[in-house]
Chains A and B, each alone.
Chain A
Amino acid sequence: MRETHPCKLVVMIAEAAIEDSLARDVMRLGAHGYTVADVRGQGSHGVRRALWGADRSIRMEVLCDELTSNAIVDHVEKHYFDHYAMIAYVSDVGVLRPGKFQHKD
């Protein structure tokens, strides 16, 4: 099996209204990049079908080192969890080219 390097995968599923500010935040907190997809589903805020503007949700994925991952999770917990439909989770993954995901100063 191909050798990979340990890395954190931060996944945030949130209402699309905060996509832009979330993207700015993760870049400012040291991430090298992110991937966003439109998603739909159901949670404590009810069913979100992505039928129209206010009903849209996104999933943002960020591959980064632990330092950045902690910074992102702390930030979203403080600024978004109270008032927005949002969940976040972190998992350990293996990546190629680990230099791409180290904390950016």
Chain B
Amino acid sequence: MDAIPLFFLLGFVARLARSDLKIPGQLYEALSIYLLLAIGLKGGMELARQDALALIPQALSVMALGAIIPLIAFPVLHKLGKLDRFNAAAIAGHYGSVSVVTYAVAADYLIARSTEFEAYLPLFLVLLEMPGIAVGILLARMGGDFRSVRWGALGHEIFLGKSMVLLGGGLLIGWVAGPTGLAPLEPFFFDLFKGVLCLFLLEMGLVAASQAPALRTSGVFLAVFAIVMPIFSATLGSVLGMMIGLSAGGTLLLATLAASASYIAAPAAMRIAVPEANPGLSITAALVITFPFNILIGIPLYDRIIGLLFGS
């Protein structure tokens, strides 16, 4: 068993048991800044070793995946789940976007098993962040009033939101500076990464448990969706990973990205663009069910599926 997901469980159980353990909001901010920058830098550094132009077809197909997932999730939520258009679209948008921490846990899973993967995959993390959110918003506004959307504020939130700036900025810095330029930063950004990830997961456990009571009101359908949808998306991601020629490790990361649901960028964007949607529903699904499912069960499960696909 990997140690890292256990920190999530510790936080989760501590909150349920009403421990006074609390991670200050400012530390949460600092940890998330560190993780986003470190992941961006690592990806950028590897990007510097690649022919960036050759990655364009891969990048475009990955962005298409981000747009397709909410298009599939939306009718399921709207027709099958009987959720109204706004809630169905907002939740679909969350599932089209990605969770950075889920990615980090999957990368650690591969490193712990000495499985090789394309280290430039944080590029896909950046590319997958936005399309799902955009499609979610379009679905919410389709046939309705587009004028009510504050496009300026929304564009600002999506493109200049914390996660985009830090991930994209880290990617650019890593790309420009390259491995030699980043060498002095390695002890801080790369060697300490796992420890910081553990602290962050401890915090996520506390947060997820504090949101858990909302499960009682969100309904069984959403709980089932929050488990079935990631498995379906991971399968899509696995097939795409194979089609675009990723290694088995890279395919697992892409599958995990497809399976993950955003709980940082998407909630902020959806609150501005689709205020009619109840944020409690999407956050409960993404954070209380899908996130723990992915890091505890999903990643090893997707690894099995990909193992079968790759025939090993």
Q: Which residues of A contact B (CB under 8 A)?
A: 15, 17-18, 20-21, 38, 45-47, 49-56, 82-84
Give the segment of B57-65, B263-271, B299-307 that binds chain A.
Answer: B263-271
Nearest-neighbour CB distance to chain A for B117, whole angstroms, equals 29
In the complex, are the beta carbons of B272 and A55 less than 8 A apart?
A: no
Determine the chain B residues whose CB is within 8 A of the CB of A45 once the complex forms: 280
In the complex, are the beta carbons of B25 and A54 less than 8 A apart?
A: no
In the complex, are the beta carbons of A51 and B203 less than 8 A apart?
A: yes
- Selected from A18, A20, A47, the residue in CB contact (under 8 A) with B210 is A47
- Selected from B25, B150, B210, B272, the residue in CB contact (under 8 A) with A38 is B25
Chain B 1-32 against A: per-residue CB contact (8 Å), 1 yes, 0 no? Answer: 00000000000000000000011010010000
Q: Cβ of B207 < 8 Å from any Cβ of A?
A: yes
- Selected from B263, B272, B283, the residue in CB contact (under 8 A) with A17 is B272
CA distance A20 to B271 in the complex (A): 13
Q: Cβ of B276 < 8 Å from any Cβ of A?
A: yes
CA distance A14 to B272 in the complex (A): 13
| 26 sample A-B contacts, Cβ–Cβ < 8 Å, listed by A number | A18-B271, A20-B153, A21-B150, A45-B280, A46-B280, A47-B210, A49-B210, A50-B25, A51-B23, A51-B25, A51-B203, A51-B206, A51-B210, A52-B28, A52-B207, A53-B264, A53-B267, A53-B268, A54-B271, A54-B279, A54-B283, A55-B207, A56-B25, A83-B275, A83-B276, A84-B275
Q: Cβ of B214 < 8 Å from any Cβ of A?
A: yes
CA distance A47 to B210 in the complex (A): 9
CA distance A15 to B270 in the complex (A): 13
Nearest residue, chain B, Cβ from A21: B153
Secondary structure of the B contact surface, majority rule: helix
CA distance A45 to B213 in the complex (A): 12
- Selected from B206, B268, B276, the residue in CB contact (under 8 A) with A54 is B268
Kindly name the residue among A20, A45, A55 whose own CB sees the greatest number of chain B CB atoms within 10 A: A55
CA distance A51 to B207 in the complex (A): 7
CA distance A38 to B190 in the complex (A): 32
Determine the chain B residues whose CB is within 8 A of the CB of A51 once the complex forms: 22-23, 25, 28, 203, 206-207, 210
CA distance A83 to B273 in the complex (A): 11
In the complex, are the beta carbons of B214 and A15 less than 8 A apart?
A: no
Determine the chain B residues whose CB is within 8 A of the CB of A46 once the complex forms: 213-214, 280
> Residues of B within 8 Å of A, CB-based: how many?
23
In chain B, positions 119-148 with a C-beta closer than 8 Å to chain A are: none
Nearest residue, chain B, Cβ from A54: B267
Determine the chain A residues whose CB is within 8 A of the CB of B280 once the complex forms: 45-46
Determine the chain B residues whose CB is within 8 A of the CB of A49 once the complex forms: 210
Nearest residue, chain A, Cβ from B25: A50
Nearest residue, chain A, Cβ from B26: A38
Nearest-neighbour CB distance to chain A for B244, whole angstroms, equals 32
Nearest residue, chain B, Cβ from A20: B153
CA distance A51 to B28 in the complex (A): 8
In the complex, are the beta carbons of B271 and A15 less than 8 A apart?
A: yes
Determine the chain B residues whose CB is within 8 A of the CB of A53 once the complex forms: 264, 267-268
CA distance A45 to B271 in the complex (A): 14
Nearest-neighbour CB distance to chain A for B95, whole angstroms, equals 16
Nearest residue, chain B, Cβ from A45: B280
CA distance A70 to B224 in the complex (A): 47
Nearest-neighbour CB distance to chain B for A57, whole angstroms, equals 11
Determine the chain A residues whose CB is within 8 A of the CB of B275 once the complex forms: 82-84
